[in-house]
């Protein structure tokens, strides 16, 4: 069964499905099989990163899948340790060699690492890779408004998308509003909060029972109605299909507010505040 996933249009015109597959920890032969099963269910957007060490797995799945390359949207990310102009240029090439692909649809700076303060020169390398056809759309992850303002001010180019931690325990209301006002799409990482305590939450369970849906479907519908693209990771074909089967019901305003109301200031999974946290 193939599930059709609605699309949204980024500020540079690229269309992305509102749900993609997260692939952190999907590697090797099992990872390839999981990604192929997701594509068979209807996933077209696949998230990955240089640091997940699975760009090779993604490329192999792309080649073995029955869906043509042009219909798939493949993402990778630049790690902090290669965040200078020269290193970023080579790393984008290396990412493509690892996947054995000619281009990425989306390439993101993985973390701003503000103490290192080299994200603007790395951004310049992404801009040039886009111009030369190696990347179709360029964006960032975990960037705060001040970081994105600097990118635009110093290079004239703003990101198409910002991939941020977003789930019921951390709803990112202020950051999402800023994205909306600045025409930058929001993409939710760990949209299911890694299926830990959120899956034991009574409020979400009650809403799930009322709709005869799973907890995961309620949470992913909440992301969709917030206007965010989510990238839930699952290795299981059944859970992958469950996670994209959310387009035959809707949450009312009260239900949306109840889920958003679960947010806490300390709701981040690992306390990774991009103002301070650095990842290399
Ligand atoms: N940019 C960044 O800094 C950043 C940071 C973190 C993550 N990411 C990206 O975001 C993606 C998603 O985040 P994540 O992997 O951290 O967490 P997640 O997608 O919130 O949760 C994944 C966990 O949920 C389980 N799961 C999935 N669907 C389920 C369902 N229907 N019912 C029950 N359990 C279910 C999965 O187990 P099974 O596999 O066994 O189904 C897995 O253990 C990552 O894979 C990665 O691509 C980006």
**Which pTM value belongs to this model?**
0.98
pLDDT tens digits for 150-201?
Answer: 999 999 999 999 999 999 999 999 999 999 999 999 999 999 999 999 999 9
The pLDDT tens digits for 50-92 are: 999 999 999 999 999 999 999 999 999 999 999 999 999 999 9
How much is the pLDDT for 3? 86
* Average confidence (pLDDT) over 206-227: 98
pLDDT at position 245 over 90: yes
DSSP per residue over 220-244, as a string?
HHHHHHHT-EE--B-S-HHHHHHHH
**What's the 195 CA to ligand 1 centre distance in angstroms?**
7
- Measured by CA distance, the residue closest to atom 31 of ligand 1 is 239
Q: Which of 164, 169, 221, 226 is nearest to 195 (CA)?
A: 169
CA 71 → CA 22, 210, 273, distances in Å? 18, 36, 35
> Which residues surround ligand 1 with Cβ inside 6 Å?
22-24, 47, 110, 141-142, 163, 189-195, 214, 216, 231-236, 239, 242-243
Of 192, 228, 226, 233, nearest to 49 (Cα)?
233
Joined tokens for residue 195:
């299926």
Q: Which residues are known catalytic residues?
A: 52
Band of the pLDDT at 1, cuts 50, 70, 90? confident
Residue 2 has pLDDT above 90, yes or no: no
15 — phi, psi (to 5°)?
A: -95, 130
- From the centroid of its chain, how far is CA 124? 21
pLDDT band at 225 (very low <50, low <70, confident <90, very high): very high
Is the Cβ–Cβ distance between 35 and 60 less than 8 Å? no
The pLDDT of residue 58:
98
Using a pLDDT cut of 90, give the percent of the chain over it. Answer: 99
The average confidence (pLDDT) of the chain is 98
pLDDT at 85 (0 to 100) = 98
Kindly give the number of the ligand 1 atom that is closest to the alpha carbon of 163.
Answer: 1
> Reading across the β-sheet that carries 73-78, which strands appear in turn?
45-46, 73-78, 104-109, 135-141, 161-165, 185-189, 229-230
- Tens-place pLDDT, residues 96-137: 999 999 999 999 999 999 999 999 999 999 999 999 999 999
CA 120 – CA 114 distance, rounded (Å): 10
Task: Give residue 23 CA to ligand 1 midpoint distance, Å.
Answer: 8
Q: What is the pLDDT of residue 122?
A: 98
Beta-bridge partner residues of 141: 163
How far, in Å, from the CA of 21 to the mean position of ligand 1? 9
Rounded alpha-carbon distances, angstroms, from residue 61 to 12, 23, 80, 270: 27, 12, 26, 30
For the CA of 235, the closest atom of ligand 1 is 39
Task: Give the residue, out of 3, 109, 217, 232, with the most ligand 1 atoms within 8 A of its beta carbon, to mutate for a pocket test.
Answer: 232
Report, in this order, helix, strand and coil percent for the chain, each rounded to 5: 45, 15, 40
Q: Give residue 193's region: left, alpha or beta (phi > 0; psi -120 to 50).
A: left
- At 30, is the pLDDT very low, low, confident or very high (cuts 50, 70, 90)? very high
């Amino acid at each position: 069964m193939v599930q059709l996933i609605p699309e949204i249009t980024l500020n540079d015109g690229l269309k992305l499905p509102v749900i993609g597959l997260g692939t952190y920890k999907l590697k090797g032969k099992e990872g390839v099989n999981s990604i192929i099963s997701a594509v068979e269910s209807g996933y077209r957007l696949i998230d990955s990163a240089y640091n997940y060490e699975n760009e090779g797995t993604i490329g192999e799945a792309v080649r073995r899948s029955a869906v043509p390359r042009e219909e798939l949207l493949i993402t990778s990310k630049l790690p902090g340790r290669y965040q200078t102009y020269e290193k970023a240029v080579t790393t984008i090439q290396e990412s493509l060699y690892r996947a054995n692909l000619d281009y990425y649809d989306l390439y993101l700076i993985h973390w701003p690492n503000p103490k290192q303060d080299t994200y603007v020169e790395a951004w310049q390398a992404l801009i040039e890779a886009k111009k030369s056809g190696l990347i179709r759309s360029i964006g960032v992850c975990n960037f705060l408004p001040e970081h994105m303002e600097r990118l635009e001010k110093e290079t004239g180019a703003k990101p198409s998308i910002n991939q941020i931690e977003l789930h019921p325990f951390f709803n990112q209301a202020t950051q999402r509003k800023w994205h909306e006002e600045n025409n930058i799409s929001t993409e939710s990482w760990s949209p299911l909060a890694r299926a830990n305590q959120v899956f034991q939450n009574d409020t979400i369970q009650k809403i799930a029972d009322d709709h005869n849906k799973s907890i995961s479907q309620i949470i992913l519908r909440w992301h969709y109605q917030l206007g965010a693209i989510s990238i839930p990771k699952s290795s299981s074909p059944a859970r992958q299909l469950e996670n994209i089967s959310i387009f035959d019901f809707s949450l009312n305003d009260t239900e949306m507010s109840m889920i958003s109301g679960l947010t806490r200031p300390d709701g981040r999974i690992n306390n990774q505040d991009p103002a301070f946290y650095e990842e290399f």
